[in-house]
Amino acid sequence: MTGQDLDPRTPVIVGAGQSSERLGEPGYRRSSPVDLAAAAVREALGDTGADPAALAEAVDTVAGVRQFETSSPGAPAPLGRSTNFPRSVARRVGADPARAILEVTGGQGPQHLVNELAATIAGGACDVALIFGAEAISTVRHFAGAPDRPDFSETVDGDLEDRGYGLTGMVSRLQAAHGLTGAPSQYALFDNARRARLKQSREEYAAGMGALFAPFTRVAAANPHAAAPTVRTAEELVTPTERNRMIAEPYTRYVVAREKVNQGAAVLLMSVAAARRLGVPEDRWVFLPGHADLRDRDLLDRADLSTGLAAIMAVQHALEVAGIGVADLLTIDLYSCFPIAVSNICDGLGLSADDPRGLTVTGGLPFFGGAGNDYSMHAIAETVQRLREAPGSYGLVGANGGLLNKYSAGVYSTTPGDWRPDRSATLQAEIDSWPTVEQTVQADGWGTIETYTVKHRRGGDRVGIVVGRLEADGRRFLARTADSDGGMLDLLSTGEPIGRRVYVRSFAAGNRVTTGDARMDELFPPRPAVLRDDYENVLVRRDGHVLEVTINRPEVRNSLHPMANDELDEVFDAYFADPDLWVAIITGAGDKAFSAGNDLIYSASGRPMWVPKNGFAGLTGRRGMHKPVIAAVNGYAMGGGCEIALACHLVVADVTARFALSEVRVGLVAGAGGLVRLPRAIPEKLATEMILTGRRITAAEAAEHGLVNRVVEAGTALEGARALAAEILEASPTSVRTSLRIMEETRGVPDVIDAISRPSAALDGLMVSDDTAEGLTAFVQKRPPRWRNR
């Protein structure tokens, strides 16, 4: 096919450009990400051989790749940032597009945007698209605290199609609780699993990683845009030294992506009709004959943690669409944030680490630079230039994002050809149908190690992270080592840990793993279920058979942080274990609030967060609450405070009380039981309104709908709860416990007769109890019973 035979809507890349600068070198300008992207766009416009001004004026769509500082909620921007990155860049180069896109987070972004907008052009909904990205992390880090720091703030008007962070599946509370948040530790799980699958020793595998990346350093050393243009040997890359410290086993610093860069890249994409109209010579045209975009299962859902099957499928499908094989490629660039991202594709395609074509055209992320989410834009730009120098050849760009699970692939060529749709949607449906691995959040018992890593902190501290399977049922668990467990850390850092038998136990702050059950007891001696005298956040008072518990944080409206939650959990453990305590009352100090729920100021501080295994306040997730707990609500019961009240058996509220599940107003949900308990406690429509709007209801409204048992005068909630407790104490404590147990046992039985006739060991036990005998005897003798609680 010749250029004259092409469908006029066929998409072609007509321009590619890059920009960069390094601290302290000639020409350094302290450029912002917008400046670097704009410089790359100018290069791309000039690369076309046509009039740059006319090209810029013709652009109808711009798409920007996110910077690190806009890739996650709350990410800092010490030097400021643009409010509309795509339009800031467009304005710099004289473009005024109808559409502006800000892509989701992930290294797949550049190739995905090329694939997507090429299809949009082929479908006639776009004519000229400009795609770009940039990072100035090196400059931002250097000047963050400087008095003469530049100001990168820009406010730009205009529509923006902000696609959001795209972090779903990338971060979870479970992973955060176990320190599995940084990319090195996450990717290390894959590489260690792959090493075990290949049955290689640590030394053999390290040598392989060095051999894989040593050729990358040579490419980077010859690239004028590289951030670290230094040739290194395979041994140098993987040998730990003071400069090349271990980060997360098996990774040293030299084999992970280098984020301190100042780099920008851009490509100009348009229809054949637009290229002809705007005077772009055909020798500048580069086609996209093959393309694919796939997403793998989330990290802990995958059956095999030694590979990324969806990434391999994406590359294979892109080659299939292009109608070529691996042997037909002139150039290859595989996203190289960590060794596994490259070796995974090599495994799938049968490529060797020493392939004479090389596996990178830039030098790779550890050496050229991991330009945030934008690295592959540089790979595309380099590929375009090389293919123009070898007409008729093919080049592959593989772009990885997330946790080895978001992958976009593109095959490029100067050979003319109409647009060919891919079957990514069909393949994605196949991937989505793959079975997931059953997991447990709280793991207890013996298990085996499936994969692992050891994180090395700058001060020399280490922490081990383990993915394993429980022996009892095969469920997958995530756990970490205790800080003082040198034995377990040594197990993970020597020999072959994968397949080894270990012991895991769940705690409020997550699962902990060690070498055995006896060692676990040494590290975490069982906490005695007894009351103490020295709580920091709670006041405790015993009055006969009644335990009064007061949340003592009035300065923050009795909101709860992890330490307060832990103390409440400990107090209620003691209450339920003490046979002389028959009724508990929980209230809040002062007259403003029962509890305002989660301490949002603490949780926003970035400090570690956890909730006891028994739930918020040690109550909302507790099973077997077979002794009554009364909430004495004085003032506001908001969010988690309302959830505490919902978890109690009885509620006494003074007239000032207000109840609300207010989490939606701060971007959260009532996940400590409110979403489940409130619709079961009050009319569903009212519950839904409260949940979706955060509406507050008064004590009177709560009583009307059955959420509250009694409403009392202002300031007398505790006295009212004491009066209710006194009434309960007149009954047999054994009967009270049995009643609560049977109510719990039958709660899920829909048929009333089935529930009534259901066998109950608790009821059988009551019939032969001392309290039943005493109650009947006292009734006959017409005297008050003397309960024995047995």
Interval 328-343 mean pLDDT: 98
C-alpha distance from residue 60 to each of 10, 103, 104, 176, 269 (Å): 16, 17, 20, 41, 11
- Crossing angle of helices 339-349 and 202-221, in 10° steps, is 100
Task: Confirm or reject CATH 3.30.470.10 for domain 3-173+255-432, answering yes or no.
Answer: no
Give 389 or 750, the one with higher predicted confidence: 389
**Using CA atoms, how far apart are residues 322 and 153, in angstroms rounded to an integer?**
43
Digit-coded pLDDT (tens) for 610-669:
899 999 999 999 998 999 999 999 999 999 999 999 999 999 999 999 999 999 998 889
State how far Cα 737 lies from the chain centre: 42
Residue found under tokens 């004259």:
4
Q: What is the pLDDT of residue 743?
A: 85
Contact 581, 575 (CB under 8 A): yes
**Using CA atoms, how far apart are residues 576 and 315, in angstroms rounded to an integer?**
59
Indicate which residue of 21, 57, 643, 774 is catalytic. 643
User: Can you name the residues that pair with 290 across neighbouring β-strands?
Assistant: 411
Could you tell me the pLDDT band of residue 320, with boundaries at 50, 70 and 90?
very high
Digit-coded pLDDT (tens) for 454-485:
999 887 889 999 999 999 999 999 999 998 89
Digit-coded pLDDT (tens) for 555-569:
999 999 999 999 999
DSSP character string of 420-477:
----HHHHHHHHHTSPPPPB-SS--EEEEEEEEEEEE-TTS-EEEEEEEEETTT--EE
User: Can you name the residues that pair with 82 across neighbouring β-strands?
Assistant: 154
Q: Where are the beta strands (DSSP E) in 670-724?
A: 697-698, 710-712
Interval 530-539 mean pLDDT: 93
Helix (H, G, I), strand (E, B) or coil at 276: helix
Count of beta carbons in the 10 Å neighbourhood of residue 550: 21
Q: What is the pLDDT of residue 474?
A: 96
Contact 571, 537 (CB under 8 A): no
Q: What is the pLDDT of residue 734?
A: 82
Percent of the chain at pLDDT > 90 equals 83
99-103, 223-227, 531-535: lowest mean pLDDT where? 531-535
- Crossing angle of helices 183-197 and 339-349, in 10° steps, is 40
Model-level pTM greater than 0.85?
A: yes
Indicate which residue of 57, 663, 713, 745 is catalytic. 663
Could you tell me the pLDDT band of residue 493, with boundaries at 50, 70 and 90?
very high
Q: What is the pLDDT of residue 371?
A: 75
* CB-based contacts of 767, cutoff 8 Å, min separation 6: none
Digit-coded pLDDT (tens) for 679-733:
999 999 999 999 999 999 999 999 999 999 999 999 999 999 999 999 999 988 8
Q: What is the pLDDT of residue 341?
A: 97
Degrees, nearest 5: CA angle 783-787-790: 145
Contact 660, 695 (CB under 8 A): yes
**What fold is seen in the domain 538-729?**
2-enoyl-CoA Hydratase; Chain A, domain 1 (3.90.226)
Cis peptide before 366 (omega within 30 of 0): no
Could you tell me the pLDDT band of residue 4, with boundaries at 50, 70 and 90?
confident
Contact 263, 273 (CB under 8 A): no
Contact 551, 559 (CB under 8 A): no
Contact 69, 141 (CB under 8 A): no
Q: What is the pLDDT of residue 1?
A: 57
Active site residue 663: yes
Residue found under tokens 């995905």:
112
Q: Does pLDDT of 516 surpass 60? A: yes
Digit-coded pLDDT (tens) for 127-145:
999 999 999 999 999 999 8
Contact 118, 269 (CB under 8 A): yes
Tokens of 644: 């505490």
The secondary element (H helix, E strand) that includes residue 584 is strand 583-588
Q: Does pLDDT of 768 surpass 80? A: no
Give 358 or 609, the one with higher predicted confidence: 358
CA atoms lying within 13 Å on the CB side of residue 66: 24
Residue count of the chain: 790
* CB-based contacts of 641, cutoff 8 Å, min separation 6: 558, 559, 588, 593, 594, 595, 596, 597
What is the Cα Rg of the chain in Å? 32
- The secondary structure of the chain in percent helix, strand, coil, rounded to multiples of 5, reads 40, 20, 40
Q: What is the pLDDT of residue 783?
A: 83
Exposed, middle or buried, 600 (CB in 10 Å: 0-12/13-18/19+)? Answer: middle
* CB-based contacts of 201, cutoff 8 Å, min separation 6: none
CA 142, 144, 147, 151 torsion: positive or negative?
A: positive
**Using CA atoms, how far apart are residues 626 and 747, in angstroms rounded to an integer?**
14
Digit-coded pLDDT (tens) for 64-108:
999 999 988 888 999 999 999 999 999 999 999 999 999 999 999
Q: Structural domain boundaries of the chain?
A: 3-173+255-432, 445-523, 538-729, 733-781
Exposed, middle or buried, 652 (CB in 10 Å: 0-12/13-18/19+)? Answer: buried
Q: What is the pLDDT of residue 726?
A: 93
**Using CA atoms, how far apart are residues 360 and 337, in angstroms rounded to an integer?**
12
Q: What is the pLDDT of residue 695?
A: 95
State how far Cα 146 lies from the chain centre: 32
Give domain 445-523's CATH number out of 2.40.70.10, 3.20.20.210, 2.40.50.840, 3.40.190.170.
2.40.50.840
Interval 244-263 mean pLDDT: 96
**Using CA atoms, how far apart are residues 87 and 34, in angstroms rounded to an integer?**
10
Q: What is the pLDDT of residue 168?
A: 82
Mean pLDDT over the full length of the chain: 94
Q: What is the pLDDT of residue 505?
A: 97
Q: What is the pLDDT of residue 3?
A: 60
CA 47, 268, 294, 170 torsion: positive or negative?
A: positive
Tokens of 552: 């003592």
State how far Cα 119 lies from the chain centre: 30
With helix as H, strand as E and coil as C, how does 741-765 read? HHHHHHCCCCCHHHHHHCCCHHHHH
Percent of the chain at pLDDT > 70 equals 99
Q: Does pLDDT of 736 surpass 60? A: yes
Active site residue 643: yes
- The closest alpha carbon to 537, from 512, 571, 509, belongs to 571
* CB-based contacts of 562, cutoff 8 Å, min separation 6: 508, 509, 602, 608, 609, 610, 611
**Using CA atoms, how far apart are residues 483 and 512, in angstroms rounded to an integer?**
10
DSSP character string of 168-217:
TTT--HHHHHTTTTSHHHHHHHHHHHHHHHTT--HHHHHHHHHHHHHHHH
C-alpha distance from residue 627 to each of 401, 570, 588, 608 (Å): 51, 16, 20, 32
Q: What is the pLDDT of residue 331?
A: 98
Tokens of 494: 């020597």
User: Can you name the residues that pair with 161 across neighbouring β-strands?
Assistant: 101
Interval 241-254 mean pLDDT: 96
Beta strands 697-698 and 658-660, pairing class: antiparallel
Digit-coded pLDDT (tens) for 226-244:
999 999 999 999 999 999 9
- The closest alpha carbon to 538, from 525, 549, 522, belongs to 549
Interval 209-232 mean pLDDT: 97
Q: What is the pLDDT of residue 2?
A: 62
Could you tell me the pLDDT band of residue 171, with boundaries at 50, 70 and 90?
confident
